[in-house]
Structure 1
Amino acid sequence: MSRTILYARVSTADQTLSHQRTHAEAAGFKIDEVVADHGVSGVSTRLRDRPEGRRLFDMLRAGDTLVVRWVDRLGRNYADVTATIRELMERGVIVRTVINGMTFDGATTDPIQQAVRDALIGFMAATAQAQAEAIKEAQRAGIEEAKGDRTKFRGRKPAYGRKELDLVRDMLAAGGGTSEIAREAKLSRQTVLRIKADPAGAEAALARWDLS
């Protein structure tokens, strides 16, 4: 019997895992099992090299559906994400995303549909990598700014720590709304909006207060 398996990669607390399942079920998915990796980088660690990612590959069979919040849960490296999705499709696994409701099915035989499918895979994988690179650049800029401000007034202590900042960035990258993110991170909407508008400044504030 085919199964629907939700894979989640979460950076911080269990609340992000429950959120991803709730979001998937609200989108109409009937989840049979959840597989999750915690605190694993999507940039440097391939899906099959993650502890639960390896188990996921062993579990999936032809006819199963793999559900992910967005393709960045599979990784943030273009070559890795595209290779992973293609391998799963070749094995007869259908990959579906909660955000945007995308379906990648290797059983597609129409050449036009195949071309559209493959173009979408490439575009979404490239977007995931671009978002990861933007986050890294913001972190570098924030650290450099903080180094120059060490002897200056540190300003107001941020209402968030590393865990909350990573969660906000993760959900922003996945297309989450401001109110939704604020609830999950237990922050005000204004704080989330400030982080969104100035990620480098958010990093700098953490560094100035030795919270990073």
Structure 2
Amino acid sequence: MATIFYARVSTVDQNLEHQQAQAESAGFKIDRVVADHGVSGVSTRFADRPNGKRLFDILREGDTLLVRWVDRLGRNYSDVRDTIQEFMRRGVVVRTVINNLTFDGATKDPMQQAVRDALIGFLAAAAQSTAEAIKEAQRGGIALAKANESELKYKGRKPSYSRAQFDNTVALLAQSASISAVAAATGLSRQAIYRIRDERAAAEASLINWGM
């Protein structure tokens, strides 16, 4: 029985090695790493990704599919829910690094099944709502940047956060993560996190101004 770690890296400044190191530091023993690069979790279904599709052939009954969080499987409610359910149907256990959640199809108890499926549905919905929150922040930043277009010759101070750190911060805050938890996950200062939380459009506009 193998544990395969799947990572989806949607932008150039997201780091596959960081995701893997986070899993290993949490105590997971990884037998193989499979990743999709430059793939959107919103517009591309899991089964349509080159390596997402391969996992349906690679994983066998009794194997474990490990992901950092369910949003690595996708950011579309139906796609995430159906993907987890399909792997469980095949006897594959799905686990997350964050919160150490485990989903499998072993239980036959209807109450346990109902609780498990409800949690899968909730997390799938959270993945989509987080993506929508990020998109809304981007729209707000673009609008602010356009409104100040005549003044863009002065870019202001370069942001202390990357695009990936910004997106991850928005995602974690949408999941009601604490400031300390966000800082630990992203490596950002509390001041930077507060700015992203309280002045999201301005923080996004700063990234746009610097071409990030």
TM-score, normalised via structure 2 length: 0.87
**CA 1:44–1:31 in structure 2 vs 1: closer, same or farther (change >3 Å)?**
same
Is the CA contact (8 Å cut-off) linking 2:9 and 2:16 kept in structure 1? Answer: yes
Structure 2 letter corresponding to 1:199: R
**CA 1:73–1:15 in structure 2 vs 1: closer, same or farther (change >3 Å)?**
closer
Is the CA contact (8 Å cut-off) linking 1:179 and 1:189 kept in structure 2? Answer: no
Structure 2 letter corresponding to 1:84: T
> Which 5+ residue runs of structure 2 have no aligned equivalent?
none
How many residue pairs get aligned? The number is: 204
What is the root-mean-square deviation in Å for CA atoms of aligned residues?
A: 2.2
Tell me the percent identity.
60
Structure 1 residues 65-101: Cα deviation after superposition (integer angstroms, max 9, x where no partner) = 0001110000000000001001100011000111111
Paired position in structure 2 for 1:166:
164
3-state SS, counterpart of residue 5 of structure 1: strand
Structure 2 letter corresponding to 1:124: L
**CA 1:171–1:203 in structure 2 vs 1: closer, same or farther (change >3 Å)?**
closer
3-state SS, counterpart of residue 128 of structure 1: helix
Paired position in structure 1 for 2:156:
156
| Whole-Å separation in 1 of the counterparts to 2:52 and 2:68 | 15
Paired position in structure 2 for 1:8:
7
Structure 1 letter corresponding to 2:186: I
> Which 5+ residue runs of structure 1 have no aligned equivalent?
none
| Whole-Å separation in 1 of the counterparts to 2:183 and 2:41 | 23
| Whole-Å separation in 2 of the counterparts to 1:165 and 1:28 | 28
Q: What is the deviation of 1:171?
A: 5.6
| Whole-Å separation in 2 of the counterparts to 1:122 and 1:189 | 32
Paired position in structure 1 for 2:199:
198
Paired position in structure 2 for 1:29:
28
Moved over 4 A (4+): none
Is the CA contact (8 Å cut-off) linking 2:67 and 2:97 kept in structure 1? Answer: yes
Structure 1 residue corresponding to 2:182, chosen from 177, 190, 210: 177
| Whole-Å separation in 2 of the counterparts to 1:47 and 1:19 | 21
